[in-house]
Amino acid sequence: MVIVSDGARRAGARRMTEVADQARVSPATVSRVLNNTGNVRADLRARVLAAVGRLDYHPDAIAQSLRRRLTHTLGVVVPKITNTFYTDAVRGIEEAALRRGYTVLLCSSNEDFQRERRYLELMRSKRVDGVILSPSHGPADRFAPLVRDQVPIVLMHRRVADIVADAVVVDNRGGTRQAIRHLAERGYAAVGMIAGPLTLSTIAERHAAFCEALAEHHLPADDDLVAFAEYDEASGTAAAARLLDRRPPPRAIFVALNVLMLGVLRAVQSRGLRVPDDVALVGFDDLRWATVVTPPLTMVAEPTFEVGERAAEMLIERVEGYGPATPRVEVLKLTLVVRGSS
């Protein structure tokens, strides 16, 4: 049992009055915003939350969670925390969560749907308020318990056809088309692609856009100009070898998954080839080390921090009951950063 003293109640009431004065609303409106009860206009809600931030007001989290049945915990499942995309995205999630008084329970599935299933069960048992999920490939029934229990879900970066949920993704098609247009305008007559598994929504979108862009720029579209890889560096080396040993080899390669790029560079180096004189390279996701190799790498840059930040904001809106009635998908734009490798 949680016992709150009269003195603590009076102090809490005084602090709520301070918030109300700052926000130019009534204490009742402050209470409705903080407890997510009743209807509050969006502009009034924004003023209250801004005043809460300025005054560093922290209402009794235990009492609030008992009233609202919230734990103020968000579950996050990513495929590989070692992937710099997800490292930065999780930073965005944490920052957005902390601003709103939430903590984060983070799990990495290592692209294993069975492990992902166990983590989702763990999150149900921990009574997280909602889950941000970048799913691995596997049967969609592993999400059924969350859906059945009406646990809010936001899909991040990857989507699953069988889940109707909010999602934050990037413009994979647009980013890929920018990359291929750049290579075509530079005069490369044959462009290859190294792709991850097509079972991932991100890779499927990039592969489709690659094929469309080749046709648009009247470039050859032979099937053996695309080499598929798994989700690791060694697989990237093997895929690059298949393209570079082709006769004739492509003069440019689009590497559609960031974790493959280092393996591709190893394959290029082992053959004594020069970038971009012998083969040009364009990658996906602006790796932190892209500017320290020689030559620096041309990359399609993703707004990684913003992806995570927006996913957390959308989930908290859904958890607290003021998100839109129907699920939404937000698509963030990408930017081609041209450097010496192309």
pLDDT tens per residue across span 195-214:
999 988 999 999 999 999 99
Predicted local distance difference test score (pLDDT) of residue 191: 96
CATH topology of domain 6-68: 434 Repressor (Amino-terminal Domain) (1.10.260)
Average pLDDT over residues 67-78: 82
Predicted local distance difference test score (pLDDT) of residue 60: 54
Where exactly does CATH 3.40.50.2300 map onto the chain?
A: 73-169+304-333, 172-303
Helical (H) or strand (E) element with 32: helix 27-35
Task: Name residue 168's beta-bridge partners.
Answer: 156, 330
Q: E strands within the chain?
A: 73-78, 103-108, 130-133, 153-156, 166-170, 191-195, 226-228, 252-255, 280-284, 298-301, 329-332, 335-337
Neighbours of 226 (CB within 10 A): 21
Predicted local distance difference test score (pLDDT) of residue 62: 44
Q: Lowest-confidence range among 65-69, 229-233, 335-339?
A: 65-69
Predicted local distance difference test score (pLDDT) of residue 1: 31
Task: Name residue 255's beta-bridge partners.
Answer: 194, 283
Which positions ≥6 away from 126 have C-beta within 8 Å?
Answer: 71, 73, 75, 105
Predicted local distance difference test score (pLDDT) of residue 12: 55
Distance CA 309, CA 165 (A): 17
pLDDT at 2 over 50: no
Please work out, in degrees rounded to the nearest 5, the angle formed at the alpha carbon of residue 127 by the alpha carbons of 99 and 314: 40
Model confidence at 163, pLDDT cuts 50, 70, 90, reads confident
- Report residue 186 as tokens: 């530079």
Model confidence at 11, pLDDT cuts 50, 70, 90, reads low
Average pLDDT over residues 157-183: 92
Distance CA 319, CA 296 (A): 43
Tokens 């020689």: give the residue.
294
- Report residue 243 as tokens: 């393209």
Average pLDDT over residues 313-321: 90
Average pLDDT over residues 142-161: 84
Contacts 24+ apart (CB under 8 A), 286-291: 286/337, 287/84, 287/258, 287/261, 288/84, 290/339, 291/339
> Higher pLDDT residue, 230 or 210?
210
pTM value? 0.77
Query: Residue 281 in contact with residue 275, Cβ under 8 Å?
Result: yes
Query: Residue 72 in contact with residue 66, Cβ under 8 Å?
Result: no
- Report residue 18 as tokens: 């301070």
Residues of the chain with pLDDT > 70: what percent? 90
pLDDT at 44 over 90: no
Residues of the chain with pLDDT > 90: what percent? 54
pLDDT at 50 over 80: yes
pLDDT at 67 over 50: no
Q: Lowest-confidence range among 19-28, 137-146, 148-157, 275-284?
A: 137-146
pLDDT at 45 over 60: yes
Going 181 to 183 to 187 to 192, the CA torsion angle's sign is negative
CATH number of the domain located at residue range(s) 73-169+304-333 in this protein: 3.40.50.2300
Phi, psi for residue 104 in degrees, rounded to 5: -125, 130
Least Cα distance to 75 among 42, 114, 108, 32 occurs for 108
pLDDT at 269 over 90: yes
Query: Residue 226 in contact with residue 206, Cβ under 8 Å?
Result: no
Where exactly does CATH 1.10.260.40 map onto the chain?
A: 6-68
pLDDT at 68 over 60: no
Average pLDDT over residues 41-50: 85
- At 144, the amino acid letter reads A
Predicted local distance difference test score (pLDDT) of residue 6: 43
Predicted local distance difference test score (pLDDT) of residue 26: 86
pLDDT at 176 over 60: yes
Query: Residue 88 in contact with residue 157, Cβ under 8 Å?
Result: no
> Higher pLDDT residue, 258 or 15?
258
Whether the link from the prior residue into 152 is cis, omega within 30° of 0, is no
Average pLDDT over residues 79-87: 90
pLDDT at 56 over 90: no
Which positions ≥6 away from 264 have C-beta within 8 Å?
Answer: 194, 236, 237, 239, 240, 253, 255, 281
Question: β-pairing, 335-337 with 329-332?
Answer: unpaired
Model confidence at 192, pLDDT cuts 50, 70, 90, reads very high
CATH classification number, 172-303, choose in 3.30.43.10, 3.40.50.720, 3.40.50.1220, 3.40.50.2300: 3.40.50.2300
Among the ranges 12-26, 68-82, 241-255, which has the highest mean pLDDT value?
Answer: 241-255
- At 11, the amino acid letter reads A
| Residue 276, CA atoms < 13 Å, CB-side half-sphere | 20
The overall average pLDDT reported for the chain is 87
